[in-house]
Structure 1
């Protein structure tokens, strides 16, 4: 499960791309122009960027250059309708990792995305840090204020989802689909049970609380304390 930043101004392309990526259990944020991309990118921690070269306000090349100034390692896959060697070379020279020419087959998109994610994972320790919590997804452990906490696989997947969506409300349905790969059954409390497991492990005995219940909606992970 990866957090993917999709920058695409064609609504049809962004919709089918998002659906294809979500089929592989990834989380996709979409913006539709270069200015939005430059503004939003530093706010969240992304595992991959998919970037159209022809965008309003700022071009994909300009956005790619900006991203590389902020983050030297996040994989960038550029989309283009221009099958020009010069355009590809320009993008690769400023930091893009791969190119895909429109129109593309969704299976090829999925394959390239997975290849870039594997390459990035092999090169870097998969640690996510929010507030005073650091989650290592390779060994299912949390470091908090000098303590090491061991999680189960599902607890780790749940915490990863919450941390990747810092300050964003996640419904029980979304959590069930992303963590367990199932449609949410209103008759089960599996999500609530696992949230309680997590709270007992990563919050019990600590002052700051990160996982909050939003009545009637779901859960939210917040690093800013009220």
Structure 2
């Protein structure tokens, strides 16, 4: 991965490039991804102790890496990552206590963003007033449709789901308000390989995010209600 940061002397200079940085995910996400295994491994009392220890890491993570997990509040990150990282990183933002999320728009079919344990974070946001719009484009599995359907049935006023065959099956994107967005693409891989993705993550890059939102809105208008 590459991180692009603007130097303190001004936005008009060329971005600085810091190569090969690993972007972490929130400790809560890592813990809950492996919660079932850990419950089998430890006795209930031991599990509770370790759960509390992980909770103590929450503030350490947020203090050290900031609300976006990047030590960066504004700029662009060039990504070369896996499906797992995209899903986990999105959950990190959604689950974080520092980022306000009024509206989440996404075209992430095939990634399984609503599978467990991630769905709980989106439910928490919906309960706190967030609105979600999703566009599927043909790469999703039946399980992914069922996961979206379950969420839609539970929160009919707060989540909208549409479908269109006009978007690229390899294109992936999400937009959170006017603050965070990702524009990515799946790399075609050999059958035995896990697909990889490339893209750019934008933080408070107003013009870039505005352009991505314009594209999303145009696709939304052309799409049909799915659920």
TM normalised by structure 1 equals: 0.28
Where relative contact order (Cα < 8 A, 6+ residues apart) is larger, the structure is 2
TM normalised by structure 2 equals: 0.27
